[in-house]
Amino acid sequence: MLPRWEEGDAVRVTRNVRNDGTFPGIAVGALLVRRGRIGHVRDIGTFLQDQIIYSVHFLDEARVIGCREEELIGLDEPWQDSRFETRQIVCAARALAIRGEVRVPLGSRGEILNVDRSDANGVVYHTHFDCLPGNPLQVPESALVEWGRGHE
């Protein structure tokens, strides 16, 4: 298990980082660093002997945060910002069809399982919809809206 980055390397965090209770003086669940922010590796350690953890200094937030390797990308890697993130609840902005058959009606509730920024046409979300159990769909950002008041 070799670290991908070294101390001093610039990295970008790929998801919002919230306080899981290990960051003192800030409420649990509070946003610590927004996805897309750039920081510099300060230290490298391990967790449970099978995960590399990077202490990353985010200058704009004046915080040093522990990040897992899969939460980071190199500064030179392509980055597309996204409206939604993993585990966020969303709503279908239009009816979604599979082979011409509408399987997800307009307004259906879904949950983001994964954010894929590698598509040349923009961000694609692997999304599970309540109305289509066990069949996650790859959905473009334009087909989703935030789950808001009135839906809950």
pLDDT digits (tens, 9 = 90+) for 31-44: 999 989 999 999 99
Q: Which residues contact 81 (CB under 8 A, 6 or more apart)?
A: 35, 36, 123
Beta pairing, strands 38-47 & 51-58: antiparallel
Q: Is the pLDDT of residue 113 over 70?
A: yes
Q: Is the pLDDT of residue 150 over 80?
A: no
Q: Is the pLDDT of residue 50 over 60?
A: yes
CA distances from 21 to 56, 62, 81, 120 (A): 18, 18, 27, 37
Q: Which residues contact 31 (CB under 8 A, 6 or more apart)?
A: 16, 17, 18
CA distance 152 to 39: 36
The pLDDT value given to residue 114:
87
Is 142 in a helix, a strand, or coil?
helix
Is 59 in a helix, a strand, or coil?
coil
The pLDDT value given to residue 106:
94
Span 114-122, average pLDDT: 80
